[in-house]
């Protein structure tokens, strides 16, 4: 089966089920089971302040540890979780787990840092989303200023007024809001004006070409300048090379996330290496 070369076990498995309806049903069953049997795990990727070389945050990134197929990346199951609505209980689990982990790191003596959690538009649009977030904070005891919600421009496809209302309530509670993959959605500039947000995340697709594609360089530079003028924080994601890091520093991007510092890792691995990937442990 040449055409399936390079696919993961999961993609190969599902491709063999050629009836789409049955495939969806089986997958839905599997996802339900994954939730019940606690097969989901969070990996975490550090966010670094360049100037001080310190970890200022972590992004929680979901993986599915399937008993037979191994570790499945989010791109392979989140779309179906969104279609079936399962993203709502899964997303709630992510929020609760990420908040608890952040508290655990603080209790272990690490300097307080932000925990960034990806929020699907479907999850955000559920009626009780604000309550779900506040519950996760209360249950874990995490100070709201150390929770950051990563939303995407797609969140504003409908019910813009309600979106703004929810963001305002969250902001009033002290929760931070960032726009993920900034610049890859549509009519982003409207949101910058209307949404009570704190931070822009420059999409990896612009960072990738930074050092060889003048258009990417121009876009990244423009996003950073705009963020500064609007008094928003800005972070570049997907930073892999020293050349990219140098460019970003030269255009006054102060925070980065990417393989150059660390891949996303399980919590216990980060606990061990945190002191060495940045000057995080120095008082």
- Touching Mg ion, residues 81-140 (CB under 5 A): 118
CA dist 226 and 192 (Å) reads 10
| CA atoms 176, 182, 184, 188: torsion sign | positive
Can residue 180 be called a binding residue for ligand C2E (CB under 6 A)?
A: yes
Residue closer to ligand C2E by CB (options 172, 263) is: 263
What is the spatial distance between Cα 181 and Cα 120, in angstroms, rounded to a whole number? 13
Binding mask 37-76 for ligand C2E (x = CB under 6 A): --------x---------------xx----------xxx-
Give 121-187 as a 3 state SS string: HHHHHCCCHHHHHHHHHHHHCCCHHHEEEEECHHHHHCCHHHHHHHHHHHHHCCCEEEEEEECCCCC
> Residue 279's Cα: distance from chain center in Å?
23
Binding to ligand C2E by CB under 6 A, coded x per residue (else -) over 98-137, reads --------------------x-x-----------------
Number of residues that bind ligand C2E (CB under 6 A): 22
56 binds, among Mg ion, ligand C2E, none (CB under 5 to 8 A by kind): none
Residue 78 sits in the site that holds ligand C2E (CB under 6 A): yes
- Give Cα 166 distance to the centre of its chain: 19
Nearer to Mg ion, 62 or 267 (CB): 62
Residues 131-190 touching Mg ion, rule: CB under 5 A, are: 150, 180-181
Cα separation, 205 vs 223, in Å, equals 13
> Which whole-number Å values give the CA distances from 107 to 77, 181, 184, 226, 246, in the listed order?
33, 31, 37, 37, 35
Build a one-symbol-per-residue string for 49-88: x at contacts with Mg ion by CB under 5 A, - elsewhere. ----------------------------------------
Which strand (E) or helix (H) includes residue 117?
A: strand 114-118
Q: Which is nearer to ligand C2E, 148 or 181 (CB)?
A: 181
Please tell me whether residue 255 binds Mg ion under the rule CB under 5 A.
no
| Contact pick of 27, 58, 88, 94 for ligand C2E (by CB under 6 A) | 94
As given in the structure block, the two tokens for residue 81 are: 């979780």
Interaction of residue 14 with ligand C2E, rule CB under 6 A: no
Which residues are at the interface with ligand C2E (CB under 6 A)?
Answer: 45, 61-62, 73-75, 78, 91, 94, 118, 120, 150, 180-181, 204, 237-240, 258-259, 264
């Amino acid at each position: 089966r040449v055409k399936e070369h390079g696919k993961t076990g999961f993609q190969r498995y599902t491709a063999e089920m050629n009836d789409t309806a049955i495939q969806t049903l089986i997958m839905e069953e599997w996802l339900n089971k994954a939730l019940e049997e606690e097969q989901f795990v969070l990996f975490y990727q550090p966010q670094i302040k360049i100037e001080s070389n310190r970890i200022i945050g972590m992004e929680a990134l979901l993986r599915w540890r399937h008993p037979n197929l191994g570790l499945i990346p989010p791109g392979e199951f989140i779309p179906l979780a969104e279609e079936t609505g399962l993203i709502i209980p899964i997303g709630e689990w992510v929020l609760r787990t990420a908040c608890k982990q952040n508290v655990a790191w603080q209790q272990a003596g690490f300097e307080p840092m932000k925990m960034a959690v990806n929020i699907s538009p479907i999850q955000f649009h559920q009626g009780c989303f604000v309550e779900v977030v506040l519950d996760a904070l209360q249950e874990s005891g995490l100070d709201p200023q150390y929770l950051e919600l990563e939303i995407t421009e797609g969140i504003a496809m409908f019910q813009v007024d309600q979106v703004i209302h929810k963001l305002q309530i969250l902001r009033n509670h002290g929760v931070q809001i960032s726009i993920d993959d900034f610049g890859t959605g549509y009519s982003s500039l409207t949101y910058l004006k209307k949404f009570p947000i704190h931070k822009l995340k420059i999409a990896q697709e612009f960072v990738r070409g930074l050092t060889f594609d003048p258009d990417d360089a121009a876009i990244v530079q423009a996003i950073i300048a705009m963020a500064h003028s609007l008094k928003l924080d800005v972070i570049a994601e997907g930073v892999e090379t020293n050349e990219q890091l140098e460019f970003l520093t030269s255009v006054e991007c102060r925070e980065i996330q990417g393989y150059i510092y660390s891949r996303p890792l399980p919590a216990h691995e980060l606990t061990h290496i945190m002191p060495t990937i940045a000057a995080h442990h120095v008082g």
